[in-house]
């Protein structure tokens, strides 16, 4: 071989991705395989079952290590903390039938593709593996497995147009189809006998089957257009999108024309999204890197619906197939449901540990059983059978199922309340949430904005404000034109659809969108431009209409959108709208008013949403499609500020107050202006009126690699005096801030204000607010300060989607259990990263988040937390009950083994089915308690209260059974050999019967006994079985917790009725003396006094168990006192940090500036746009 096999034995699969894995090569060895097969036979399949659960043992036993190139078996291991193994067999795909000669292959599109690098010569075979429905092929040159079913990432924009613009040849397509497999998302329906997951598989099957067989039109190189079934599509195919609605069967890159797409299936956002074609940029950057965060604006995703297409001068809307099958966005959603990411939750870890303890107990019981039965001369087979019985009794096989019952019922309750879940294991996580991040617009505030006013600007001066609604119409001019055309609205099903902000702005003009196609625009090749015209109520305008020639859609990263428009018969103009700070940076400095910052602050401080408008004229003769975004969005003329009122939703304040009362932190993460965000946070109650807000600003220092950070208080001022507020923020017009030293910047606020601020800071009543740019700089240059800032950080404004995800992860590093509530579009990353992501959407499920609420309000957050807490407590209750039930049965059996006795078959059956199974099903019906208490349920089983509860109840059960076992032997009527002596002696005493009749009766009973006794009947058996059976009911009642996390137990009517019914049957068995029934149940007759004694024993056990549970286990003040006495402190990172900062009188620094003393390892570029030096120093503070 010439190479060290160990060197090439290991590699990484999907490096840097969410599903990253380690892959190891192995080769099957004949002799090892034969030995393993012998082991399967000799162990009656037990070894095979073990290897099924431990695939790594299977591989290590059957195979030897080798290089990945030689491997016929690969072992995969996840790189996360769980390190889960899986085994995959290498398969071979033959392409020899498709490649007859060298002329057949490679084609133009294949020269640098993985397809040409995967075909082995001369065999013309491809080596592949399939992992979680994704196919990987062996790259001969790179010596690694690579994903197929998607275009390679290295293609540049120009390469995609050049290589795939005219379609694949027939041969190229056939080769790709064989290697990639069909473009389908197949979810087989699980057979009926697999009932546990049948329902989910049926729903998934229905979700995906509609997209597997769609007729599409493709363009073939040298063959023209063809219609075919969508499952024949391959990456690189040229898809032609026709007019009308189209369901997309794959992910595709738009390379010509424009599309309006409904992406609600993916993002939960019902607002149509505009997709523009991929630019023909001639550079060396891969297309995705070139487009940065905006690459999704050019991608059409599988499962979404194209509702409108607009062709360019080619007359055809074309897209290159990017991903197929399970590689697509929809495939990713289905895979996330089929292969959910394991959650590192303490409950599940502790459950496994506890299971190990039960196995250890079972081992002790086995040794005891072997000793007792062997010493008494029992047969070896009987000894083995009895000892194996102990394992099945001590380790309850229903334990895993019992832990999930609470989750299943909770999921159903959530569904009834309009909250859908695609990741049920996260429900228990919701019970531990103690920090919730909220998006602002559409989440805390209304989706629809009301147009409040317009502040126009002429000759670098703001004019009088124009209020809405007004008696007089807005005059014709550049501002009016900007409002009429700078949007991405469409007419869909007779209604104007699009972003609510755009809708309100456009409606204020009283113009209409002419949705009829075929508008010929002078000087433009396109015949499909959107035209807006004056409506019936519009004021007179000197133009017939304005055509929107090209759009640069809104980007969260760039914080703006632009359009190129042309008056019919007039010149082309650019109109831009977006964040005022960003728009001002793109404008020529002489067009921006001197009092821009103070005017902006005036309105944002009142909670208004402010949008900046700008425009410029374009040179005649230039095609709009040839211009880049950078060229269009430069040297603009500032037009003014559009002021919109963003009202809080009715539910916002009560929900945030409820969360605050429950000591659950609320944090705002928004893309809006920082001052607007702070005002909304105050109005919503997120920041109390008595608390102080400290603005944290971080800036990169020009000409160096260091940065500065400043803490400034946002002062409380009179409503009308905004100039003072601007001054307190350091936003005096035209006063650039220069950092010359690290000395504190002196504050000129009155001493009384300073004292008030210091008092608030000393009591911990302060909140940090920062922008996304500052957050990024702090994360890079002041990493040590980030945890301290996050501890009191409440408002994070102007955050990009990537920064939102990063923030959630940073909170998680502080040991917070983080929830994220927002829309599915911009917040997608953060929703997936959070412990519980809740998307407000009309869809049942979206790829955006584990939870989706159909009701678009944050009222779903406390509801989810309540249900999560109830599910968590239910899991604990079920765990404790199953542990106690198995222990009670285990103790009873071991006691009877002492006399070489055991429970009978019907006795086991009654306890397992009639008692435990029914209780296990109904105990979880209890709903969530309506009020959120200011503390969370425990998150782990290995906690002192829970362990104490289990141990004490085990001791009570042991005492009860041992007491009954011993005391019954002391009774005067007890006989070890005559199991009918008790009732016979009672009858003699009561009826004074003759000895002859007594002997006759005894003989009769003995005869009956001789016919039916199976060796289980004894006074000890009857006593222990009755006591243990009713004891199971006692622990079920005692462990069924109600308040504070679940509703009182009496509200679970089914469970109460079941308990009453079971208790009635058990008491009937105790007091009934029916020979046939007793014979079936292996019970014997005992005197009434003894039966009453057993009931008294059980009543005492119930009283003791209930008293301990209520007075000790559930006594929160007692446990808090013990914690205080033993100086126990929480080990959570954020709690430790809180204790440290409480002792630090210098924190937080106020009106001080610090500098970073080291170079950041990675410095991220600006968020886009062109820099305007005039506003560099002041922009960060807005």
CA angle 393, 398, 403 (to 5 degrees): 130
Q: Where does 900-940 have alpha helices with state H?
A: 905-909, 918-922
pLDDT given for residue 90 in this prediction: 92
The pLDDT assigned to 198 comes to 40
Q: Rounded to an integer, what distance in angstroms lies between the CA atom of residue 1074 and that of residue 983?
A: 12
Using the structure block, give the residue that is written with the tokens 């210098």.
1146
Q: How far is CA 85 from the centre of its chain?
A: 23
Which alpha helices (H) appear in 275-345, and where do they start and end? 287-291, 329-338
In the structure encoding, which two tokens stand for residue 904, read together?
């009978």
Q: b/e string for 436-470 if b means 16 or more Cβ within 10 A?
A: bbbbbbbbbbbbebebbbbbbbeebebeeebebee
Using CA atoms, how far apart are residues 275 and 305, in angstroms rounded to an integer?
12
Which member of 439, 502, 823, 1180 is catalytic?
A: 439
Two structure tokens written together for 611: 């949008």
Q: Residue 1011: what pLDDT?
A: 41
Beta strands in 314-472 (DSSP E): 317-323, 419-421, 435-438, 450-458, 461-462, 466-467
Task: Please answer whether residues 418 and 381 qualify as being in contact, where contact means their C-beta atoms are separated by less than 8 angstroms.
Answer: no
Place of tokens 């009527």: 973
Contact 357, 290 (CB under 8 A): no
- pLDDT for 787 equals 93
Whether residue 1044 has a cis bond before it, omega within 30° of 0: yes
Catalytic status, residue 439: yes
Low-confidence ranges of the chain (pLDDT < 70): 1-7, 100-112, 188-212, 265-270, 282, 293, 337, 340-348, 447-448, 470-472, 515-528, 621-622, 624-625, 715-764, 824-826, 842-848, 984-1015, 1157-1182
pLDDT of residue 1171: 32
In degrees to the nearest 10, what's the CA dihedral of 19, 22, 27, 30?
A: -80
Beta-bridged to residue 120, according to DSSP, are: 125
pLDDT for residue 210: 60
Q: By the 8 A CB rule, do 937 and 876 touch?
A: yes
Q: How large is the angle between the packed helices 198-209 and 329-338, nearest 10 degrees?
A: 170
Strands 299-300 and 125-131 turn out to be unpaired
User: Which of 418, 1170, 445 lies closest to 843, judged by CA?
Assistant: 418
The pLDDT tens digits of the residues spanning 867-898 come to: 999 998 998 888 889 889 999 999 999 998 88
Tokens 């509860």 appear where?
949
Neighbours of 1133 (CB within 10 A): 15
Contact 657, 620 (CB under 8 A): no
Half-sphere exposure of 368 (CA within 13 A, CB side): 19
């Amino acid at each position: 071989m010439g190479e060290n096999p160990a060197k090439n034995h290991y590699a990484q699969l999907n490096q840097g991705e969410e599903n990253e894995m380690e892959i190891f090569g192995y080769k099957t060895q004949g002799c090892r395989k034969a030995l393993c097969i012998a082991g399967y036979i000799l162990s009656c399949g037990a070894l095979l079952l073990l290897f099924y659960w431990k695939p790594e043992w299977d591989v290590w036993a059957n195979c030897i290590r080798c290089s990945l190139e030689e491997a016929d078996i690969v072992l995969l291991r996840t790189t996360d903390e769980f390190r889960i193994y899986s085994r995959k067999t290498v398969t071979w795909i033959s392409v020899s039938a498709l490649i007859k000669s060298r002329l057949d292959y490679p084609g133009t599109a294949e020269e640098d593709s993985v397809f040409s690098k995967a075909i082995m010569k001369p065999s013309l075979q491809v080596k592949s593996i399939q992992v979680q429905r994704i196919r990987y092929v062996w790259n001969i040159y790179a010596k690694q497995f690579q994903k197929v079913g998607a275009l390679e990432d290295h293609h540049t924009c120009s390469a995609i147009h050049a290589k795939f613009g005219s379609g694949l040849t027939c041969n190229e397509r056939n080769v790709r189809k064989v290697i990639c497999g069909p473009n389908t998302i197949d979810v087989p329906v699980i057979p009926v006998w697999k009932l546990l997951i049948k329902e989910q598989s049926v729903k998934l099957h229905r979700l995906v089957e509609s997209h597997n067989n769609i007729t599409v039109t493709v363009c073939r190189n040298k063959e023209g257009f063809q219609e075919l079934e969508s499952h024949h599509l391959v990456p690189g195919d040229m898809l032609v999108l026709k007019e009308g609605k189209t369901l997309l069967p794959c992910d595709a890159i738009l390379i010509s024309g424009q599309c309006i797409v409904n992406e609600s299936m993916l993002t939960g956002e019902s607002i149509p999204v505009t997709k523009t074609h991929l630019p023909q940029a001639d550079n060396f950057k891969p297309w995705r890197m070139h487009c940065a965060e905006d690459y999704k604006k050019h991608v059409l995703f599988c499962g979404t619906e194209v509702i409108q297409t607009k062709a360019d001068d080619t007359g055809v809307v074309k897209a290159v197939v990017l991903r197929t099958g399970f590689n697509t966005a929809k495939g990713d959603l289905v895979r996330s449901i089929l292969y959910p990411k394991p959650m590192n939750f303490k409950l599940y870890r502790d459950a496994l540990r506890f299971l190990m303890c039960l196995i250890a107990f079972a081992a002790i019981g086995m040794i005891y059983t072997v000793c007792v039965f062997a010493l008494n001369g029992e047969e070896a087979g009987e000894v083995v059978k009895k000892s194996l019985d102990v394992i099945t009794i001590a380790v309850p096989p229903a334990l895993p199922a019992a832990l999930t019952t609470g989750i299943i019922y909770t999921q159903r309750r959530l569904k009834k309340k309009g909250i859908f879940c695609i990741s049920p294991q996260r429900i228990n996580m919701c019970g531990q949430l103690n920090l919730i991040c909220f998006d602002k617009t559409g989440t805390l505030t209304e989706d629809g904005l009301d147009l409040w006013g317009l502040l126009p600007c002429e000759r670098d001066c703001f004019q009088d404000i124009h209020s809405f609604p007004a008696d007089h119409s807005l005059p014709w001019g550049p501002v009016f034109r900007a409002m009429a055309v700078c949007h991405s609205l469409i007419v869909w099903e007779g209604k104007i659809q699009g972003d609510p902000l755009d809708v309100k702005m456009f409606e204020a003009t009283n113009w209409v969108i002419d949705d009829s196609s075929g508008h010929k625009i002078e000087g433009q090749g396109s015949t499909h431009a959107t035209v807006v015209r004056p409506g019936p109520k519009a004021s007179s305008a000197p133009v017939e209409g304005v055509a929107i020639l090209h759009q640069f859609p809104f980007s969260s990263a760039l914080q703006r959108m632009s359009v190129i428009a042309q008056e019919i018969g007039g010149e082309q103009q650019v109109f831009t709208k977006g964040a005022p700070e960003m728009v001002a940076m793109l404008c020529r400095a002489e067009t921006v008013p001197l009092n821009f910052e103070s005017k902006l602050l005036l309105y944002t401080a009142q909670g208004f949403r402010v949008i900046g408008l700008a425009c410029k004229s374009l040179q005649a003769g230039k095609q709009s499609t040839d211009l880049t975004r950078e060229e269009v969005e430069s040297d603009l003329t500032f037009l003014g500020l559009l002021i919109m009122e963003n009202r809080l939703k009715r539910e916002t304040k009560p929900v945030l107050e409820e969360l605050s009362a429950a000591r659950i932190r609320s944090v705002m993460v928004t893309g809006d202006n920082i001052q607007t965000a702070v005002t909304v946070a105050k109005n919503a109650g997120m920041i109390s009126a008595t608390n102080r807000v400290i603005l944290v600003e971080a800036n990169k220092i020009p000409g160096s690699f260091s940065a500065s950070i400043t803490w400034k208080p946002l002062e409380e001022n009179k409503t009308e005096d905004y100039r003072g507020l601007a001054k307190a923020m350091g936003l005096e017009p035209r006063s650039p801030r220069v950092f010359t030293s690290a000395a504190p910047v002196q504050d000129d606020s009155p001493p009384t204000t300073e004292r008030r601020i210091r008092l608030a800071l000393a009591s911990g009543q302060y909140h940090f607010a920062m922008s996304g740019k500052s957050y990024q700089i702090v994360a890079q240059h002041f990493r040590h300060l980030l945890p301290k800032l996050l501890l009191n950080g409440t408002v994070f404004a102007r955050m990009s989607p990537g920064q939102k995800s990063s923030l959630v992860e940073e909170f998680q590093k502080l040991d917070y259990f983080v929830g994220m509530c927002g829309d599915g579009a911009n917040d997608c990353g953060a929703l997936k990263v959070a412990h519980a992501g809740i998307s407000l959407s009309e869809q049942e499920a979206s790829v955006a988040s584990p939870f989706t609420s159909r009701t678009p309000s944050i009222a779903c957050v406390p509801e989810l937390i309540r249900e999560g807490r109830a599910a968590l407590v239910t899991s604990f209750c079920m765990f404790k009950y199953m542990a106690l039930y198995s222990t009670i049965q285990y103790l009873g059996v071991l006691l009877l083994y002492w006399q070489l006795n055991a429970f009978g078959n019907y006795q086991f059956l009654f306890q397992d089915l009639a008692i435990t199974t029914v209780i296990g099903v109904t105990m979880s019906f209890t709903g969530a308690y309506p009020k959120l208490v200011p503390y969370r349920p425990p998150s782990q089983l290995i906690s002192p209260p829970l362990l104490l509860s289990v141990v004490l109840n085990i001791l009570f059960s042991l005492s009860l059974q041992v007491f009954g076992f011993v005391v019954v032997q002391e009774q005067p009527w007890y006989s070890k050999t005559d199991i009918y002596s008790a009732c016979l002696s009672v009858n003699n005493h009561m009826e004074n019967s003759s000895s002859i009749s007594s002997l006759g009766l005894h003989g009769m009973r003995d005869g009956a006994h001789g016919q039916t006794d199976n060796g289980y009947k004894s006074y000890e058996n009857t006593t222990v079985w009755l006591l243990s059976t009713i004891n199971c009911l006692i622990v079920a009642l005692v462990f069924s917790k109600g308040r504070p996390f679940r509703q009182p137990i009496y509200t679970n009517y089914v469970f109460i009725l079941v308990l009453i019914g079971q208790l009635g049957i058990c008491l009937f068995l105790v007091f009934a003396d029916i020979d046939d029934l007793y014979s079936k149940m292996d019970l014997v007759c005992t005197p009434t006094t003894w039966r009453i004694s057993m009931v008294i024993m059980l009543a005492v056990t119930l009283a003791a168990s209930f008293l301990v549970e209520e007075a000790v286990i559930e006594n929160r003040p007692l446990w808090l006192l013990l914690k205080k006495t033993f100086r126990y402190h929480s080990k959570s990172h954020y709690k430790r940090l809180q204790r440290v900062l409480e002792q630090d009188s210098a924190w937080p620094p106020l009106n001080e500036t610090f500098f970073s003393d080291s170079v950041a390892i990675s410095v991220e570029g600006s968020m886009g746009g062109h820099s305007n030096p005039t506003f560099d120093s002041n922009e960060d503070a807005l």
